[in-house]
Amino acid sequence: MNDKTCIVFRIGSQKFCVDIEKVKEVSAGKDSIYVPGSPEYIIGVINLRGSIVPIINLAKKLKINSDVTNTQHPIIVTEMDELQLGFSVDDVVGIIHVKEEEFSQTPSILNVRSNFLDGVIRRDEEMIILLDLDKTMSDIELEQVRTLQEEQSIL
């Protein structure tokens, strides 16, 4: 794994990061519109400069308890499979530059549904989990989100 620049964010008490090259933008929290019948991990949709963007609750997707009750969380916007998605997180901590030697592979003991974990970054006494957001969504889930986005674009 080469050196990377990553966006660090928090969900609950755990810090995570994603490769900055996979992020289109980070948006301040916006009020989303709930879409009845949508999967439980979808908070709703927002209008982001004229585009309807589904917002995924990353805490629910990763099955992590989030300690923040604020409805306007920061949103990490990415694109996968030609679909623009926003991932709601508790807090964006900052940007870090990570050297190759700071990465560790994800321990094999964590292989239960951990295909979206790219590794662990060790910084001082802290560990930050490197996520691959592209792998957090299955093909079926992406199709559900695509259908939701198309339905909202028609309205």
- The CATH number covering residue 82 comes to 2.40.50.180
The pLDDT of residue 90: 92
Query: What is the extent of the structural domain holding 99?
Result: 4-153
Spatial separation of the C-alpha atoms in residues 144 and 142, rounded to whole Å: 5
> Considering its fold, how many domains does the chain have in total?
1
The pLDDT of residue 5: 95
Closest to 15 in 3D by CA, of 83, 80, 90: 90
The pLDDT of residue 30: 78
The pLDDT of residue 112: 46
Q: Please give the chain's pLDDT, 155 residues, in tens.
A: 688 899 999 998 899 999 999 999 998 877 888 888 888 888 888 888 888 899 999 998 888 887 655 567 899 999 988 889 999 999 999 999 998 888 887 665 454 456 788 888 888 788 899 998 888 888 888 888 888 777 766 55
Q: Compute the chain's Rg from CA coordinates.
A: 16
Residues 6+ apart with CB under 8 A from 23: 7, 76, 77, 78
pTM: 0.86
The pLDDT of residue 142: 86
Spatial separation of the C-alpha atoms in residues 50 and 26, rounded to whole Å: 16
